[in-house]
Amino acid sequence: MTPSTTIASPKLDELCINTLRFLAVDMVQKANSGHPGLPLGSAAMAYTLWDRFLKFNPRDPLWPDRDRFVLSAGHGCALLYALLHVTGFDLPLEELERFRQWGSRTPGHPEYGKTLGVEATTGPLGQGFANAVGMAIAEVALAARFNKPDHEIVDHYTYVLASDGDLEEGVSSEAGSLAGHLRLGKLIVLYADNHITIEGSTDLAFTEDRMARFAAFGWHVQRIENSNDIDAVAFALKTAREERGRPSLIAVRTHIGFGSPHKQDSAAAHGEPLGVEEVRLTKEGLGWPVEPPFHVPEEALEHFREAAARGKETQAEWELRLEAYAKESPDLATEFQRVVQRQLPKDWDAKLPTFTAGEGPIATRSASGKTIAALSARLPEMMGGSADLAPSTHTNMDGAGSFGPQSRAGRNMHFGIREHAMGAILNGMALHRGLIPYGGTFLIFSDYMRPPMRLAAMNGLPVIYVFTHDSIAMGEDGPTHQPVEQLLGLRSIPGMVVIRPADANETVAAWRIAIERKDGPVALVLTRQGLPVLDLTRYPGLPAEVPLGGYVLADSPTSVQPDIILIATGSEVHLALDARDRLASEGVQARVVSMPSTNIFSMQLDRYRDKVLPPGVPLLAIEAGASLGWKPFVGPQITVIGVDTFGASAPGNVVMQQYGFTVENICKQTRTLLQQIKEKS
Ligand SMILES: Cc1ncc(C[n+]2csc(CCOP(=O)(O)OP(=O)(O)O)c2C)c(N)n1
């Protein structure tokens, strides 16, 4: 539904647009930092969208059926803050005056969770564009699941304001290609086509026909030559909204630094304030009072603030629809509220499998696949897939269908070979709410999706990654496919939880953690090769202690203080257990600690950590990955059997042997370490 808008007079429109322009200019000038160029050039089209089309309620910024607006060109955020302030979001003028200052709600790039009305953290160019594709997918998927004839409770658009940089970054091509294929008709991108980036003209590096590119992706494309012609912008937006079969790109010729006599159309409008004199000249040129700064004319504010009444009315209308819907389909209505609030249903975990040692070896990727099958039957909000590796990552939900242009109820995503976009789309799905998004690929290719993973962690988004082929043990594909430093790299992202389970039951426990985590992403790191199932009767800590991140799997055989602690993750836990037995026969008492998640273990109380790893007991860490992370983590008396070079192409078991992942080597390293300690004491 289009919100009912009082169309302002052209004079009032101009007053409003200039209000946005100069709020942004004054913010950047006062902060002495930021980007004034994009707000000056794009204020008119942003105003048109927000004034005439965008469905939002500043008093309830999170109501589920609001339109989403993503400022993908996050460097232009002064414009977004100005919009949020004038339309009545909880962002007082003082916050605009504290742009980019410590503790303000107007940080240097928009940060999700810090400022109400900011739908996504943006700044790394291209991410917001791809997030929006994820949001649009979520909208379509939820509409398919919940809407009933005459009861459309999910019906909103996703809008993006993107810049040259957004379209230059590869992630937007990946996401744009998928969006076109998926026919995401309610995704609309306003492209600020200003011909300028930081180094100068786009002619330096960006000369292809962007419209033709997006048309080839299957998008509906339009061009507007003058962004200040707001009726033309409005007409294009109307046309784009009516085009339900294809996403829309509206290339709007804007002028960076519009109105600034010396900086318009030049890269100088980037990344630095206009300067006091240039601000004065720009204000004078556009008929704006030079003083005071942060001037908001009454008349403009009054018009902007109509958004509150409009939003209230639109939301109230939606709530009536929801009420009627709830009468007709009470269970679905409850379900809708549940998924939007990210609550889990009762007994969501009732069907989770338990594996027994007698079943023989099972790869943790296969155990994960079986767990996904059990979860997906209970959690219809699970939606995910893989970057063209589902048969290897075991991420497909059997019987759940594929999400596609003709099959909107399918829950299996086919991201194509587009890891970067997959990561960013998953973020968008999580930001939208209503789904539990997950995505899979080989651990090595997590490198291709690291930027959005970092943002998922920063934004506290519950996204689940399924990374298989987790070490050099994946074998013949060789060093290009064998991860080495990826585990360390992922663990070092603040807020990321990485779990590398040792067997099938630890894998189930890992999925349980992932599903229950609501405030951040979880990366599951899984084997290609089969692993023995640890005997639950023999190892009482399993699976109950997995949520502690690390636990004593097998204690020192004589129940005295161990001589050494073998600390291992994933597939190497089994080697540690065998080494423990071998060492016992040599009179060395070893404890084995399984450490599926160093991130979670680090969060435990010292008391618990000291119980598992008593200070003073020598440690030998065994993990087929970079050794670097272990040394500071567990203190000085440690040896690490790790991988600090690239891997090699050969059968996995051979590679593991050659790199020292053998019981013999663990015993040898133990003896050496104990000897060194003896000599020192
Ligand atoms: C991934 C990424 N690389 C580099 C930057 C640094 N950066 C900020 S703005 C910008 C270029 C901006 O040009 P454009 O996208 O055309 O924006 P506009 O000129 O319209 O402000 C760059 C390179 C970034 N924010 N993100």
Stretch 607-619: mean pLDDT: 94
* Rounded distance from Cα 180 to ligand 1 centre (Å): 24
Q: Is the CB of 64 under 6 A from ligand 1?
A: no
* Rounded distance from Cα 239 to ligand 1 centre (Å): 29
42-54 tens-digit pLDDT: 999 999 999 999 9
Q: Which residue puts its alpha carbon closest to atom 13 of ligand 1?
A: 197
262-281 tens-digit pLDDT: 999 999 998 899 999 999 99
- In the block, tokens 């969208």 appear at 49
Q: Which residue puts its alpha carbon closest to atom 12 of ligand 1?
A: 197
178-213 tens-digit pLDDT: 999 999 999 999 999 999 999 999 999 999 999 999
Q: Are 247 and 187 in contact (CB under 8 A)?
A: yes
Which numbered atom of ligand 1 lies nearest the CA of 202? 16
Rounded CA-CA distance 617/605 in Å is 19
Percentage with pLDDT > 90 across the chain? 95
Q: Is the CB of 167 under 6 A from ligand 1?
A: no
Pocket residue to mutate for ligand 1, from 79, 160, 198, most atoms within 8 A of Cβ: 198
Pairing mode, if any, of strands 187-193 and 158-163?
parallel
Q: Does 517 have pLDDT greater than 80?
A: yes
Q: For residue 625, what is the DSSP state?
A: S
- Which pLDDT does position 631 carry in this prediction? 75
| Helix H or strand E segment including 235 | helix 230-242
* Rounded distance from Cα 437 to ligand 1 centre (Å): 29
Which numbered atom of ligand 1 lies nearest the CA of 254? 20
Q: Is the CB of 198 under 6 A from ligand 1?
A: yes
Which numbered atom of ligand 1 lies nearest the CA of 196? 19
Q: Which residue puts its alpha carbon closest to atom 21 of ligand 1?
A: 38
Residue 671 class from Cβ within 10 Å (0-12 exposed, 13-18 middle, 19+ buried)? middle
Q: Does 476 have pLDDT greater than 80?
A: yes
290-306 tens-digit pLDDT: 999 999 999 999 999 99
Q: Could you list the active site residues?
A: 419
Q: What is the dihedral of CA 606, 608, 610, 614, to 10 degrees?
A: 180
368-409 tens-digit pLDDT: 999 999 999 999 999 999 999 999 999 999 999 999 999 999
Which numbered atom of ligand 1 lies nearest the CA of 194? 20
Q: Is the CB of 455 under 6 A from ligand 1?
A: no
Q: Does 359 have pLDDT greater than 60?
A: yes
Please, which pLDDT band fits residue 4 given cuts at 50, 70 and 90? very low
What is the residue-wise DSSP string for 114-179? TSTT--S---STTHHHHHHHHHHHHHHHHHHHH-BTTB------EEEEEEHHHHHSHHHHHHHHHH
Q: Does 515 have pLDDT greater than 90?
A: yes
* Rounded distance from Cα 105 to ligand 1 centre (Å): 22
- What residues contact 432, with CB distance under 8 A and at least 6 apart? 68, 134, 135, 138, 139, 142
- Which pLDDT does position 381 carry in this prediction? 98
Which numbered atom of ligand 1 lies nearest the CA of 168? 15
Q: Does 1 have pLDDT greater than 60?
A: no
CA separation, residue 267 to residues 21, 124, 250, 270, 297 (Å): 18, 19, 23, 6, 30
Pocket residue to mutate for ligand 1, from 42, 125, 131, most atoms within 8 A of Cβ: 125
* Rounded distance from Cα 197 to ligand 1 centre (Å): 6
Pairing mode, if any, of strands 564-568 and 551-554?
unpaired
Q: Does 638 have pLDDT greater than 90?
A: no
Pairing mode, if any, of strands 187-193 and 196-197?
unpaired
Stretch 492-508: mean pLDDT: 98
Rounded CA-CA distance 225/109 in Å is 28
210-267 tens-digit pLDDT: 999 999 999 999 999 999 999 999 999 999 999 999 999 999 999 999 999 999 999 9
Asked if the peptide bond before residue 361 counts as cis, ω within 30 degrees of 0, the response is no
Q: Which residue puts its alpha carbon closest to atom 25 of ligand 1?
A: 124
Q: Is the CB of 452 under 6 A from ligand 1?
A: no
Rounded CA-CA distance 43/255 in Å is 11
Mean pLDDT rounded to a whole number for the chain: 96
Which numbered atom of ligand 1 lies nearest the CA of 38? 21
| Helix H or strand E segment including 223 | strand 220-224
Q: Does 433 have pLDDT greater than 90?
A: yes
* Rounded distance from Cα 270 to ligand 1 centre (Å): 9
- Which pLDDT does position 5 carry in this prediction? 58
Pocket residue to mutate for ligand 1, from 28, 79, 163, 199, most atoms within 8 A of Cβ: 163
158-171 tens-digit pLDDT: 999 999 999 999 99
Residue 674 class from Cβ within 10 Å (0-12 exposed, 13-18 middle, 19+ buried)? middle
Q: Is the CB of 227 under 6 A from ligand 1?
A: no
3-state secondary structure of 85: helix
Asked if the peptide bond before residue 543 counts as cis, ω within 30 degrees of 0, the response is yes
Stretch 432-447: mean pLDDT: 98
* Rounded distance from Cα 202 to ligand 1 centre (Å): 11
Which numbered atom of ligand 1 lies nearest the CA of 35? 21
Packing angle between helix 37-52 and helix 77-87, nearest 10 degrees?
A: 40
- Which pLDDT does position 6 carry in this prediction? 65
* Rounded distance from Cα 290 to ligand 1 centre (Å): 29
Please, which pLDDT band fits residue 150 given cuts at 50, 70 and 90? confident
- Which pLDDT does position 633 carry in this prediction? 62
* Rounded distance from Cα 125 to ligand 1 centre (Å): 6
